[in-house]
Amino acid sequence: MVDRNLQRFYGRIGRIEKIHEAGGGFEADGTLGMSYYKSQKRPRRRRGFLAPVVLVLMTVIGIKAAVHTAIGGEVYEERVQILRSGPIVDQVGAYILQADPLTLALAAQLRRLVR
């Protein structure tokens, strides 16, 4: 004999499992469930390609300024000149490490903070 209540029960269980597989769920009234926390979550911002490049450039300039402050301007320029007279890899390094105006300005600020 077929039990109609049992068929409805298993039908309901099947629907609940489908909802759970799809990421849904049930929440009691007055509780803080997933719908609350998902509504509080800020949408993820896409920064694209530019943000990592800017971060790397800022880091390189900061390191150049720190080294310029630590060893002094004359010694820094001497070492860059040594790199310029080396092989092509060293010449590329010298081009990257040359003291640009932003590096010099940041080095002056660091020098003022250190002393």
Q: Which pLDDT score, from 0 to 100, does residue 26 have?
A: 65
How does the average pLDDT of the chain come out, rounded? Answer: 88
Instruction: State the burial class of residue 97 (Cβ atoms within 10 Å of its Cβ: 0-12, 13-18, 19+).
Output: buried
More confident residue, 41 or 78: 78
**pLDDT of 109 strictly over 70:** yes
More confident residue, 104 or 24: 104
Q: Is the pTM of this model over 0.75?
A: no
Phi, psi (5° rounding) for residue 84?
Answer: -65, -30
Phi, psi (5° rounding) for residue 88?
Answer: -60, -35
d(CA 79, CA 70): 13
Phi, psi (5° rounding) for residue 3?
Answer: -100, 110
More confident residue, 73 or 22: 73
Find the mean pLDDT for residues 2-30: 82
Question: Could you tell me the pLDDT band of residue 1, with boundaries at 50, 70 and 90?
Answer: low
What residue segments make up the domains of the chain, in order of their start?
A: 50-114
DSSP three-state, residue 3: coil
Residue % of the chain over a pLDDT of 70:
93
Write the CB contacts of 91 (distance below 8 Å, at least 6 apart in sequence): 83, 84
Question: Could you tell me the pLDDT band of residue 46, with boundaries at 50, 70 and 90?
Answer: confident
